[in-house]
Amino acid sequence: MQIIGISLVEHENCYVVGIRPEGAVLAGFAEFPGGKQLLPESTSETAVRECREETGLQVEALRLLHQEQFTYEHGEVLLDFWQCKLVDGQSPDSLQAPWKWIPRNELDSYSFPPANAVVLEQIRISTPVD
């Protein structure tokens, strides 16, 4: 089973979202920044590292929002979704393409992988971080 740390980066009621590229697993689906855990790091450390590597943003993991074990055609994953915020002094404008800030109320217009369903519902009903 692959263990994945995912950053749910919120700023001014928007979230960082990308689209999985052609040729990748789950190509065409929307995604939050994240990736495979590299031991001995924790999944919160994974989420922070992957966000920095993929988006250029420095974030802080605040709390584990949701954990989901899911079996896809390509294998079984354990997804740790971490609520994150930008570190002090980090400009939201330093987000690297193709990542975008998507308003919370527009997340429903994106197609996320099935394993994201519960966390997307939690985002819909949660109070904004900032």
- For 25, left (φ over 0), alpha (ψ -120 to 50), or beta? beta
Domains and CATH numbers, the chain: 2-125 (3.90.79.10)
Is residue 105 within 8 Å of 22, Cβ to Cβ?
no
User: 32-62 pLDDT, tens per residue?
Assistant: 999 999 999 999 999 999 999 999 999 999 9
Q: The pTM is what?
A: 0.91
